[in-house]
Structures are given as structure tokens and as C-alpha cells.
């Protein structure tokens, strides 16, 4: 008997757990450890943030799904990894601390033969003074954050209906944030809601971002072939912002979110501030802060994790200039280089470098997006990791044989721009590959045939369908495996 332990039950963790359990014989165990009792379809949190959905429509209880599928579940947070065991055992294990009410605070050692770290990110609000729902800004990162944000937005709309004019600031709250796509979706859904409530003329809607230019999205932007010519996503995105009457501030690092005012530095080193009545600013991400110890109890966290607490994998982490970056720097099997039975799925792996070009202000402040690696890529890499591990557990292979490099992977993204079955819109984008490959595609870094962008009502229908399809799949309902990542 061998045991696969999976840390985290988000998109990556749930995908890995279900895929592994389906392929393993009954003599093996799959164990999931997650501090949350509920699964959350995070892409739909933006709809909770505008009141188009309720929290219970984007979540479900994990325990019944795991009971049905025969997966062991501990509602707990992982505290540390001991890849060599300790003085009492040579078996590798993780220490966990329970978060459910009946065992809250209890700790336990869970041994493993294979480990997948899919813990996702830590929402690092503390990186920016005053940022976050506990202080002076709002968020849609979690379903409860999104519900509180809608409450604040709805209150503002009621005041605008009485004739008050308001400024709404939406974007990212640090110079090295990622996930511009979620903020993009939120600002356009807010804009749609304001029009629906006939108060659009009362709102000054402002986008604030660390992108060099609109349409970067942390992937360095992309080129699209339209009507016989090739255009950049900047043109496409600027056109959309202009059409909807949204002004924008780019190249910005938020230094402080004060009550009613946000202070930021721009890439030219200048200091600015903007007063606002509503600030939804996403935080930067870091790893969750797992520690690691050797058999003697000495800390070896640096052997497993980068300085930002994301886990090291089979990437090329050597220091290089931007001009020397290659798509082959990116990992393909997500295996820790020192401990071959430890893998990482989703945003928890340490990227070798950014995708967008690194930029610094004259003051030395880094202002550029860090690379996104959530959603579809997260699910694809989790599936391939699970298949590799199950092959090794069943004796079919002695090393990983499947690859899922973001430099060889395409992706599709549907970004909501207004939630309504008849009047809604969404931006549908595809790209190949995710990581630009300028050796193969020297002009644009990507294959134009498979890199597209379009906005329309059909995109909203697809987005709504995918919401239900992915929740159905995550619940492991009949034929869930035919739904792709």
C-alpha cells in the first residue's frame, strides 16, 4: 500500500485527488488536507461581488464528495514538511493543524509516499499598508470577501440613486500583483451593474494597475490577427475601456490604502494619490509559508522553497537578463529537484521568472505583474502530475513520463464583462503557448492561428455554462471525467 497526500483542495488539488483516486487500485490511499470545509469555484466570485450570484452558488461542502469517492479528508492546514522523517521515523510526513470546530488546534503527523503541494497562494494584503477588507479596501479573492464587497457596492449604488456622485477605484494593490484578469472582470461587471441601475452617470470608474499598458494581463500581452492585420491586445483593451467610459492608471505600485484615498508610485518615480469612495484592489500573492525540516529537526525550507515561499520545481532558476529568457526555463513535470516524491500543482510552484518584462522605477520599486498560473493551466498540470504519480505507485513507471509545460500548453480564458443572459458580454481569449516562445515564433512569441480575442454575448453564455460544468465536475458526478480541465 502507498499513500498520496495532497495539500489543498482548490482547482489543482481537487483535480489531482479525483484523477488519482480514479486510477489507483484499492490498496492505495489518497488523502486530501485542506483548511477549508468548502470547495470554491473562484472564477465566479466576481459575480458574487456584484450580486449576480450568492456564495452558496459558487461553493459546496467537500466532505460528502470525498466520502463518496473514498478519499480521506482532513480539514486542517499543513504546517511543515519533513521529507526525511524525524528521529522517531524514517517515513516522510507532513504536520497538520486541524481547523474544524471538533478538533481545532490539534496537530497530527500524516505520512506520505508521494506528496502534491497544491496549497494555492497566500493573499498577501500585508505587503501594502492599509490594504484588505480588514482595513481600507475591498477584495473578491474569496466568496466571503466578494459578498462583503457587494454589500458595500450596493450601499454606494443606493446613494448614487439619490444623486450623489462617487469614484470607484478597481484594480491591483501592489507593484508585483498578478491576477489582473479577475480585477478586469470585476470592473466591467461593476460598470454593467451601474448601467443596469441607471446610475452610470453618477460614477467615476477608474482602473489602477501595475501593467505597463492595458491588455498586458501578466502575460506580456498578446497579438491577435483580425481582418487581415495583426494588432496588440493593448489596442483591443483600450478600445473596450474607452467604449465603456472607464479611465485607467497603469504602471502603478500602490504604497498605501488609506481611508478614502490610495497613494501610489508610478514607473517614472512620481508619487500620486487618488481619492475614492470604493476601492476593490487585489493583493499580491506569496506561498502559504510552509516550513520544512530534516531528520535532525533542522530547518531546510530553502531546499524546498524559493524566497517568496513558492515551491521549487524542475525549472531553470539561474539569474538571467530579460533578453536571455527562454520558454524552456519553465518546468514541465513540477517535481522538486531534491525530493523526487514531492510535486507541485497550480500557483504553488515557483516560476523561474516573470512573463511580462520586469520594470523598475528610479526609486528601485519593482512595478510589473508576476505570472498568472491559475485556472485552466492549473487543472491541466494537476491532472498530468496525478497521472505520473499513479503510474509510479502502480509500478508502471519509475519516473514522470507526462509533461505539462506552460511553454507547450495552450489556454482559453473567458472574462466576464457583464452578467446577463440577454444583454451580458464576455471577452473570449485563446493563446498558444501561454509562455511566449520567441525562438519558434520570433515576431509575436505565439502562434497567431491559435491566439484569438473576441467580445460578445456568446462569451457570457459560455462563461455561465463553464461555471456549472466545472462545479459538476468537482462534485465528481456521473461522467465527470469527460469534462476537460
> Per residue in 20-62, pLDDT tens?
999 999 999 999 999 999 999 999 999 999 999 999 999 999 9
User: pLDDT digits over 314-325, tens only?
Assistant: 999 999 999 999
Q: Determine the distance from the C-alpha atom of residue 107 to the mean position of all C-alpha atoms in its chain, rounded to a whole number.
A: 28
Around Cβ 87, how many Cβ atoms within 10 Å? 8
Helix 11-23 / helix 62-69 crossing angle, nearest 10 deg? 10
Q: Are strands 203-208 and 166-172 parallel, antiparallel or unpaired?
A: parallel
Contact (Cβ atoms closer than 8 angstroms) between residue 450 and residue 430: yes
pLDDT at 227 over 80: no
Confidence of residue 72 (pLDDT cuts 50, 70, 90): very high
Say how far apart CA 118 and CA 309 lie, in whole Å: 13
- Can you give the pLDDT at residue 87? 96
Half-sphere exposure of 140 (CA within 13 A, CB side): 36
Predicted local confidence at residue 373, as pLDDT:
85
Chain position carrying cell 466532505? 63
The answer, yes or no, to whether the previous bond of 111 is cis (omega within 30 of 0) is: no
Confidence bin at 282 (pLDDT 50/70/90): very high
The pTM score is 0.96
Between CA 373 and CA 220 the distance in angstroms is: 14
Find cell 527562454 and name the residue: 326
Backbone angles phi, psi at 126, to 5 degrees: -65, -15
pLDDT by residue (tens digit) across 377-424? Answer: 999 999 999 999 999 999 999 999 999 999 999 999 999 999 999 999
* Paired residues of 242 in beta bridges: none
pLDDT tens by residue, 335-390: 999 999 999 999 999 999 999 999 999 999 999 999 998 889 999 999 999 999 99
Q: Please report how the helices 180-196 and 143-161 are oriented relative to each other, as an axis angle in degrees rounded to 10.
A: 30
Q: Where are the alpha helices (DSSP H) in 221-294?
A: 233-243
pLDDT tens string 171-224: 999 999 988 999 999 999 999 999 999 999 999 999 999 999 999 999 999 999
For the record, the C-alpha cell of 343 comes out as 510535486
CA distance 264 to 274: 8
Band of residue 226 on the pLDDT scale cut at 50, 70, 90? confident
Grid cell of 295 as nine digits: 531528520
For the stretch 452-476, pLDDT in tens is 999 999 999 999 999 999 999 999 9
CA dihedral sign, ordered 35, 41, 47, 53? negative
User: Which pLDDT score, from 0 to 100, does residue 228 have?
Assistant: 83
In this predicted model, what pLDDT tens digit does every residue of 113-151 receive, in sequence order? 999 999 999 999 999 999 999 999 999 999 999 999 999
Does residue 345 contact residue 382 with C-beta atoms inside 8 Å?
Answer: yes
Q: What are the grid coordinates assigned to 269, written together? A: 518615480
- 285 is written with which cell numbers? 500573492
pLDDT given at position 225: 87
- 290 has pLDDT over 90: yes
Q: What is the structure's pLDDT at 136?
A: 98
Q: Provide the H-helix boundaries in 162-220.
A: 180-196
Residues contacting 213, CB < 8 A, separation 6+: 221, 234, 250
Burial of 82 (0-12, 13-18, 19+ CB in 10 A): buried
**In the structure, how many helices (H) and strands (E) does the chain have?**
9, 24
User: β-strand 411-416 against 426-431: which pairing, if any?
Assistant: antiparallel
Strand-pairing partners, residue 208, are 171, 249
The alpha carbon of 231 is separated from its chain's Cα centroid by a whole number of angstroms, namely 27
Amino acid at each position: 500500500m502507498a499513500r498520496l497526500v495532497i495539500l489543498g483542495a482548490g482547482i489543482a488539488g481537487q483535480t489531482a485527488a479525483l484523477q488519482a483516486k480514479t486510477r489507483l487500485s484499492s490498496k492505495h490511499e489518497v488523502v486530501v488536507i485542506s483548511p477549508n470545509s468548502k470547495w470554491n469555484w473562484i472564477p465566479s466570485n466576481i459575480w458574487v461581488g456584484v450580486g449576480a450570484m450568492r456564495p452558496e452558488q459558487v461553493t459546496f461542502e467537500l466532505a460528502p464528495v470525498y466520502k463518496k469517492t473514498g478519499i480521506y479528508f482532513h480539514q486542517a492546514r499543513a504546517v511543515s514538511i519533513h521529507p526525511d522523517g524525524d528521529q522517531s521515523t524514517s517515513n516522510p510526513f507532513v504536520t497538520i493543524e486541524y481547523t474544524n470546530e471538533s478538533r481545532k488546534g490539534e496537530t497530527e503527523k500524516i505520512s506520505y509516499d508521494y506528496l502534491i503541494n497544491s496549497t494555492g497562494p497566500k493573499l498577501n494584503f500585508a505587503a501594502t499598508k492599509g490594504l484588505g477588507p480588514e482595513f481600507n479596501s475591498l477584495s473578491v479573492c474569496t466568496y466571503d470577501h466578494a459578498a462583503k464587497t457587494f454589500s458595500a457596492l450596493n450601499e454606494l449604488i443606493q446613494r448614487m440613486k439619490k444623486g450623489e456622485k462617487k469614484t470607484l477605484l478597481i484594480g491591483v494593490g501592489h507593484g508585483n500583483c498578478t491576477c489582473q484578469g479577475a480585477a478586469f472582470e470585476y470592473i466591467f461587471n461593476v460598470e454593467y451593474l451601474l448601467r443596469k441601475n441607471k446610475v452610470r452617470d453618477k460614477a467615476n470608474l477608474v482602473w489602477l494597475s501595475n501593467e505597463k499598458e492595458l491588455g498586458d494581463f501578466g502575460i506580456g500581452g498578446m497579438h491577435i490577427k483580425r481582418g487581415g492585420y495583426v494588432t496588440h491586445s493593448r489596442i483591443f483593451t483600450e478600445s473596450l475601456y474607452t467604449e465603456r467610459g472607464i479611465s485607467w492608471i497603469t504602471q502603478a505600485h500602490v504604497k498605501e490604502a488609506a481611508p478614502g484615498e490610495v497613494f501610489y508610485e508610478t514607473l517614472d518615480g512620481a508619487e500620486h494619490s487618488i481619492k475614492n469612495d470604493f476601492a476593490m484592489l487585489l493583493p499580491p500573492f506569496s506561498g502559504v509559508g510552509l516550513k520544512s525540516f530534516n531528520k535532525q529537526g533542522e530547518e531546510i525550507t530553502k531546499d524546498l522553497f524559493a524566497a517568496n515561499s513558492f515551491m521549487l520545481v524542475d525549472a531553470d532558476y539561474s539569474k538571467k537578463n530579460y533578453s536571455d529568457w527562454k520558454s524552456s526555463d519553465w518546468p514541465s513535470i513540477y517535481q522538486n529537484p531534491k525530493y523526487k516524491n514531492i510535486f507541485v500543482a497550480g500557483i504553488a510552484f515557483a516560476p523561474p521568472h516573470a512573463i511580462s518584462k520586469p520594470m523598475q522605477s528610479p526609486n528601485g520599486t519593482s512595478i510589473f505583474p508576476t505570472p498568472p498560473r491559475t485556472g485552466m493551466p492549473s487543472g491541466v498540470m494537476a491532472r498530468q502530475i496525478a497521472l505520473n504519480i499513479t503510474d509510479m505507485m502502480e509500478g508502471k513507471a519509475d519516473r514522470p513520463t507526462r509533461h505539462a509545460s506552460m511553454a507547450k500548453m495552450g489556454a482559453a480564458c473567458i472574462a466576464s464583462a457583464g452578467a446577463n443572459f440577454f444583454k451580458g458580454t464576455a471577452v473570449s481569449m485563446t493563446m498558444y503557448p501561454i509562455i511566449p516562445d520567441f525562438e519558434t515564433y520570433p515576431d509575436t512569441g505565439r502562434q497567431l492561428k491559435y491566439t484569438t480575442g473576441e467580445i460578445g454575448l456568446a462569451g457570457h453564455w459560455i462563461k455561465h455554462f463553464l461555471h456549472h460544468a466545472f462545479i459538476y465536475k468537482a462534485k465528481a458526478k456521473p461522467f465527470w471525467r469527460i469534462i476537460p480541465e
